[in-house]
Structure 1
Amino acid sequence: MTQQESLVEYGFNRVIITITAVMCALLEIIDTTIVNVALNDMRGNLGATLNDVSWVITAYAIANVIVVPLTSWLSQQFGRRNYFAVSIVIFTVASFLCGNATSIWELVFFRFIQGLGGGALLVTSQTIITEVYPPEKRGMAQALYGMGVIVGPTLGPPLGGYITMNYSWPYIFYINIPIGVIATLLTLSYVKSPNYGGKKSLGDVDWLGIGFLIMAVGSLQFVLEKGQEHDWFEDAHIIFFAVLGALGIYLFIWRELVAKDPAVELRVLKDKNLAIGTVLSFILGFGLYGSTFVIPIFTQNSLGWTALQAGIMLVPSSVATGIMMPFVGRAVQKGISQKYLIAMGFCVFFGFSFWAYTVITPFTGEGDFFWMLMVRGVGLGLLFVPVTTWALSSLKGKEIGQGAAFTGMVRQLGGSFGIALISTYISRKNVQHRADLIDHVSSYDPNVTQRLNGMQANFMSHGSTAEVAVQQSYRAMEGLVMKQAALLTYMDVFLGIGLFFLLCVPFVLILKPAKGKVDMSQAAH
């Protein structure tokens, strides 16, 4: 029996390993978004500013992006099972410490540690869940893993909102503890580690490459997370970290190409399918995290929904994705070309975006979003499995683990880029739309005058003096203009995302994947 065959499990063992891996992937992904709705409570409880408390999100994201490319190497160093189990322990202990933090910077530090443990859970679970399935069922294994990756971001906000409203914010971290303990015990009991050798002494470790990696992706993630908040390149800190990030990327690439035993094997990107899959993973991350970001922002800011309402609204989309995953996995197993499934996914996602563009009004309700978000879920379901299997389809042995790490990191960066781009666009487009609308609000326009007089009369009927009522009516008119400007901006955002995905379709259809069938059981991370 070959080593690859010895990793395949059947029956009860495979079920347990599958549940453990999906559970860990879900834990990591949910924790990227679960804190979003609790930031106000954290700020008040810890006496922090809004700028300070935003680091709770940023620190976790930076740690994630740093550790993901190193997962293949770290697994090789310590053994995949041991590394996975230790990562769960780090994540669980850090969750407990986050819940017990007494200051904002304590919380930020523990969130960074939590992110270092969590980054390994996401990527390593992908290999673990796939290698326990025989080759003919590995498309289905990718679908099961994909359910955690796609569903996780949408489960975070409603779960965080429910816990914060009914208990208190530390419990969004405490719920990780029992799950982490169970996952650790199951990992040590059931997960196996392949042995490819290659363990190095501390003196042989590519410390310089690791340092340049931290410098590059840490700086880049900081710029993407904080750029809009600090007005991008108008701020000296953003300029400094942008330059540091660019220098770090250059030095990291140089070091990994000349090092005898690089921490991250960049030469694997010579594989055509992985290069294409990496680009597609970036686009997938852009659409997944970008839309997950903009929908709650729109419903809360423009429609006045609570965070819990906005989060729950995304659940049907996750259900649709979960339903689609097994069907798409089966289609890949039957030999349907990934590029046709991906092109279909892009078209469906365009349909969702264009639908959103057409239904946005000040009176849009939950019923208007339900089927639209179901379409979004179908689109994401059509994308994840084909993108992942295409990226890894012609890699072998340890290259598969390295390729999976690349696609995981790039998907995360795609999400950060999408959120940064969308938030910047919303901020600046609001100003432009307001200026355009103000040009059409003139005191010489009889309709405007009639509206202002009506408002003034209403305020006076509620006890305001004539002078105060005039000021109130002008402020109310300004509020209406701003609300309309925001609606126009969100319409532009949805249409822009949709057109971006639609433009990708012809490029996907002309691609010719290299021949090769992935054997995920050979992955070494």
Structure 2
Amino acid sequence: MQAEPQQGEYGANPWLIAILVSVATFMEVLDTTIANVALRYISGGLAVSSDEASWVVTTYLVANSIVLCASGWIAQMFGRKNFFLVCIALFTVASLLCGFAWNLQSLLVFRIMQGLAGGGMTPVAQSILAAAFPPAKRGQGFALYGIAVVVAPVVGPTLGGWLSDNFSWHWCFLINVPVGIVTLALIYLIIPQSKTQREARAKLWAKGFNFDIVGFLLVATFLGALEVVLDRGQVDDWFGSSFIVGFAVLSVLALIAFVPWELSREQPLIDIRMLAQRQFGTCFVIMLATGALLIATTQILPQLLQERYGYTATLAGLVISPGGLVTMVMMVIVGRLGGVQPRWLIALGATIAAGAMVDLLRLSPDADYWYFAMSRIYLGIGLPLIFIPITTASYDGIPPDKTDQASAMINLARNFGGSIGVSVSQTVLAQREQFHNSRLVEHIGAWNPVLHDTLAGIQSYLRSQNATGDTAGAAMALIGRIVENQAALLAYIDVFVALAAIAALMIPLALSLRTVDRSAKPAIGH
């Protein structure tokens, strides 16, 4: 009984296993955001519009979300290690192909391959960690894994911006190749095959091939169509577009068919009854909100800095870096807070995250680097207080044969929550910018004496600089640009209000979680 507290199921050094699977996970999660700041380079390099280039992000997330649903079954039938190795190999090859893509169509195909491989990699890595560590050390193991999952989306824009500014957008994908090769070799050599898992797989195969193909097709249709609606809705005028209406109807019909189908299966693809359990269902919703905060802020802040403050892609990414460093430190600290109940840590983390968003409501045209960097630091303190405890709480009460599926569903929540967060942010930004612009323009009229004084002052300045031509027209154009910029900043403030509301929603949800019995041995899926 003394061996178990030291090594866990695999009989190997759990920390070495944790490092290897965390590196692989870091590489995969990095690709959810590394291309965000490189989209304008991709658009120019492949001669496509910015809207078309955005599919580079969307296709990855769609494929990633879909395969998550089947990853638990595949890991059980073929073995965690085997499936993990195949995912890393496919991800590495797809990254190489993305780097050499010759047009947008080929890049999208290779990004789908990347997403399929990455979607299987993340939940299996978490299951490997749960099996590698004994119960007493599992929180620390998840802390190391959490660094990869939370820091990677933060590092993505910085690294992607630097590579795009100094080399080319192709290196946003090619950088995965050497890391993937080394990680693949080390995992193959170091992580042993589990005897317990081999025996469990033999029993499963004896029952026959029981993959729920209908359920998989239905959930793939539901998630894929919904992802298209969320990503393209604002661009295509939401339900004013027959394209969006068609995909929305397809998504709803797939969901309506999926629920009764899964409830009638003896071995469903997704046990949706788990979502009806208060503990796991609440954790699922909290992880949706956490993903929305993490991915949306990582996407919206560099966009704000590049569009309205003139930052380069590299500098916009560097604004996020201090928060990433704080997150790494906090992951280690939170991993050692094993005696504190998850609900209190999650509530505290959500409060800090909401405060970080509220701090951004002070946004002004003269905001400097550290104003934005500090908001990321605050968020870097709050998110780890959510991420590790929610992982612990979600496993509470889950039977051993459902652990892999629980892992997949929690990761699906994080990933899909990120898509929802980005969609909400972009929709609020576009609609509120139009609103604020129309309200500000109402104050620009011949009746306004302030406008006359301002125009006169600008024209006087232009003449003093020896400007020629229509100085009145130039002055009016300058005022128009000022109004446009002010409307945009007010719209970004509204985005931060929406994200603060999402963070605040997590607080009562966290407090509703039950007390986790830490003396019980956590379930480990086989």
- TM-score tier after normalising by the smaller chain length: over 0.9
- Which of 242, 251, 266 aligns to 2:248? It is 242
Task: Tell me, in whole angstroms, the C-alpha distance in 2 between the residues paired with 1:3 and 1:268.
Answer: 33
Q: Which residue of 2 aligns with 1:315?
A: 321
Note the 1:370-385 alignment, pairs <5 A: 370-385=373-388
How far off is 1:15 after superposition?
3.2
User: Which of 421, 424, 428 is equivalent to 1:421?
Assistant: 424
- Alignment correspondent of 2:228: 222
1:396 is matched with 399
Distance 1:341 1:114, change over 3 A: same
**Aligned counterparts of 2:271 and 2:525: Cα–Cα separation in 1:** 14
- Kindly indicate whether residue 375 of structure 2 is the aligned counterpart of residue 344 of structure 1: no
Query: Cα deviations across residues 127-158 of structure 1 (Å, max 9, x unaligned)?
Result: 21232111101111111111111101111111
User: Is it true that 1:408 corresponds to 2:411 in the alignment?
Assistant: yes
Matched, 1:495 2:501: no
Aligned equivalent of 2:482: 480
Deviations along 1:40-65, whole A, 9 cap, x unmatched? 22222222222322211111110000
Identify if the C-alpha distance between structure 1 residues 515 and 432 changes in structure 2 by more than 3 Å, giving closer, same or farther: same
Residue identity in the other structure for 1:491: I
- In the alignment, residue 54 of structure 1 is paired with which amino acid? S
Distance 1:413 1:438 in 2: 38
> CA 1:112 to 1:513, structure 2 compared with 1: closer, same or farther past 3 Å?
same
Q: Give the alignment of 1:504-523 within 5 angstroms.
A: 504-513=506-515, 519=521, 522-523=524-525
2:80 corresponding residue in structure 1 = 80
SS of residue in 2 equivalent to 1:32: coil
- What amino acid is aligned across from residue 359 of structure 2 in structure 1? W
Which residue of 362, 369, 373 maps to 2:372?
369
- Summarize deviations over 1:194-249 as a string: whole Å, max 9, x none: 23231378864321111112111111111111111111111111111111111111
Matches of 1:444 and 1:519, distance apart in 2: 75
Cα shift readout 1:473-512 (whole Å, capped 9, x = no counterpart): 1111111011111121222222332244234423432443
Quote the Cα distance in structure 2 between the aligned partners of 1:489 and 1:282: 24
Q: Displacement, 1:10?
A: 7.1
171 and 518 in structure 1: CA distance in 2 versus 1, 3 angstrom threshold: farther
Distance 1:294 1:517 in 2: 42
Change in Cα spacing, 1:514 to 1:256, as seen in structure 2 (3 Å) is: farther
Range that drifts further, 494-503 or 236-245: 494-503
| 1:260-275 pair list within 5 angstroms | 260-275=266-281
Q: 1:234 to 1:413 in 2, by over 3 A?
A: same
Asked whether the equivalents of residues 154 and 320 of structure 2 are also in contact (C-alpha less than 8 Å), the reply is yes
Give the match for residue 291 of structure 2.
285
2:23 pairs with 1:32: no
The CA RMSD over aligned residues, in Å, is 2.2
Query: 1-side partners of 2:182 and 2:489: how far apart?
Result: 46
Match of 2:103 in 1: 103
Name the SS for the 1:205 alignment partner: coil
Say if 2:263 is the partner of 1:257: yes
The superposition leaves residues 447-484 of structure 1 with CA deviations (integer Å, 9 ceiling, x where unpaired) of 22121122223334555545x22222111111101111
TM-fit CA distance, 1:289: 1.3
1:138 aligned partner: 138
Q: Distance in 1 between matches of 2:48 and 2:252?
A: 32
Using the size of structure 1 for normalisation, the TM-score is: 0.93
Alignment partner for residue 439 of structure 1, among 434, 437, 442? 442
How many aligned residue pairs are there?
Answer: 519
Q: Partner of 2:446: helix, strand, or coil?
A: coil
Asked if 1 retains the 8 angstrom alpha-carbon contact of 2:34 and 2:157, the reply is yes
1:213 matches 2:219: yes
**Does the C-alpha gap of structure 1 residues 271 and 463 become closer, same or farther in structure 2, counting only changes over 3 Å?**
same
Structure 2's unaligned 5+ residue stretches are: none
Match of 1:65 in 2: 65
Matches of 2:437 and 2:396 in 1, distance apart?
49
